[in-house]
Amino acid sequence: MWAPCGTRRSAVCPSCADRYAADAWHLIHAGMSGGKGVPDTVARSTRLFVTLTAPSFGAVHNRPGKRPCACGRWHPEGHPLLGSPLDTGSYDYTGAVLWQAHSGQLWHRFTIALRRAVAAAGGLTVRASGAHLRISYAKVAEYQRRGLVHFHAVIRADGPSGPDSSPPVWLTADVLADAVRSAASSVELDTARPDGTVLPLGWGAQVDVKDITATDIDIDDAADDGDQAVADTRLAGYIAKYATKGTGATETGDRRIRSQAHIDRLRVTAHHRAMIQTAWDLGGLDQYADLKLRHWAHMLGFRGHFLTKSRIYSTTFKNLRAERRTHQIHTALTEAGLPEDTDVLVVNNWQILGIGYDSPEQLELATAIGDRIRTARQQARKEPR
């Protein structure tokens, strides 16, 4: 029998990545509109769509739109120079890789600072605020062209018991947005460069905050028009698709680096090669042993999970997979003409016979079938509900 590989990366397996994206959609959407065990009243909670970015480590080629790039040229979409440094000699690759390796810790500190800022806005201590409100989130990491991640997050304010209760009336979207900006600007983490000098790490100056509404507003149109309202019906798909993306550095699924010779053979841009090489070199130093940078060199130093959430935000991947497994068993019993209470014996004795398809014809047929199924599912997720 055929078995799925279970990866989340579309560059490795589009079919499994599409299934992961579908689960991610349900996880994100349930935390905004209810369902999957989350009450529908959660749609009335204060909710924001927040994007936190990395700071600058040197000027890069960009596509500003009305004006040419700082290099004096116009770069079309997809140009290989986009995101690469204007001056590779002055670009701070060490700082970029170390920031990337600590970005998960920065997010953790941001969530702590956010709860403190919200409590202060209500004239409460952090401990006392637990009797009035709770802050939940779900966030996903996305690589920018310059090889650094930024985080998209849905941040929600609930009442003291979670999504089944309403937040205080004073905790409006504007109050929560001010707390987000305050927390993002206050977070700082110190690490050391290889020569021992202190390297302060924080978030970039660009912090984007949008209110989430229940109206059907297109995300791209809202961004173009400067509209601060984003529709929750499409936002879940917008976030979920980033959970299946890789670094964009290679066409081989961003597989782990095994040696220096492996780096030399990579078919990547000079900028991505420099980031991978920097992560590999720093990973060989004892002072960065706990960061395991060589293990994560293929991810340009990023070593966090692509999609994380707070405990009470919504359902879990485990629950979603359990529901699907129960549904599949029920369907199999129904098709076999057996009652639902039939005992099912699962034999866990499997041996792998091979990876991939036996012939190019099988691969072509499977790819065509998979593309048709994925297109139908993606179209269904885009339709208003």
Q: What is the pLDDT of residues 207-231, one digit of tens each?
A: 999 988 754 444 454 444 444 455 6
Which residue type occupies 19?
R
Looking at residue 135, what is its pLDDT? Answer: 95
Higher pLDDT, 6 or 284: 284
Q: Mean pLDDT score of the chain, rounded to an integer?
A: 86
Which pLDDT does position 214 carry in this prediction?
A: 54
Q: What is the DSSP pairing of strand 229-231 with strand 307-309?
A: unpaired
Residue 233 pLDDT exceeds 70: no
Looking at 11-64, which runs of residues are DSSP E strands?
A: 46-52
Q: What tokens does 346 get?
A: 């699962």
| 3-state secondary structure (DSSP) of residue 88 | coil
pLDDT at residue 216 in the model: 45
Identity of residue 143: Y
pLDDT of residue 291: 95
Question: Does residue 157 carry a pLDDT above 70?
Answer: yes
Least confident among 149-153, 266-270, 292-296: 266-270
What mean pLDDT comes out for the span 183-187? 95
Give the lowest-confidence range in 122-126, 351-355, 376-380: 376-380
pLDDT in tens, 319-341: 998 998 888 888 888 898 988 88
pLDDT tens-digit series, residues 27-36: 888 888 888 8
Position with higher pLDDT, 295 vs 21: 295
> Confidence class of residue 252 from pLDDT cuts 50, 70 and 90?
very low
Q: Where are the domains of the chain?
A: 14-57+92-313
Sequence-distant (6+) residues with CB within 8 A of 302 are 100, 101, 103, 141, 143, 149, 247, 296
Q: If 0-12 CB within 10 Å is exposed, 13-18 middle and 19+ buried, where does residue 329 land?
A: middle
Residue 18 has pLDDT above 90, yes or no: no
CA distance 82 to 76: 9
Name the pTM for this structure: 0.83
**Range scoring the smallest mean pLDDT among 19-23, 123-127, 142-146, 308-312:** 19-23
Between CA 148 and CA 152 the distance in angstroms is: 13
Between 288 and 385, where is the model more confident?
A: 288
Residue 204, beta-bridge partner list: none
Contacts of 186 (CB under 8 A, 6+ apart): 113, 117
Angle at 187 between CA 183 and CA 191, to 5 degrees: 170
Residue 55: other Cβ atoms inside 10 A: 16
The neighbour count for residue 366, using CB atoms within 10 Å, is: 14
Query: Could you report the per-residue pLDDT of 78-91, keeping only the tens digit for each?
Result: 788 888 999 999 99
**pLDDT, position 247:** 65
Per-residue pLDDT of 253-270, as tens digits, reads 567 899 999 999 888 889
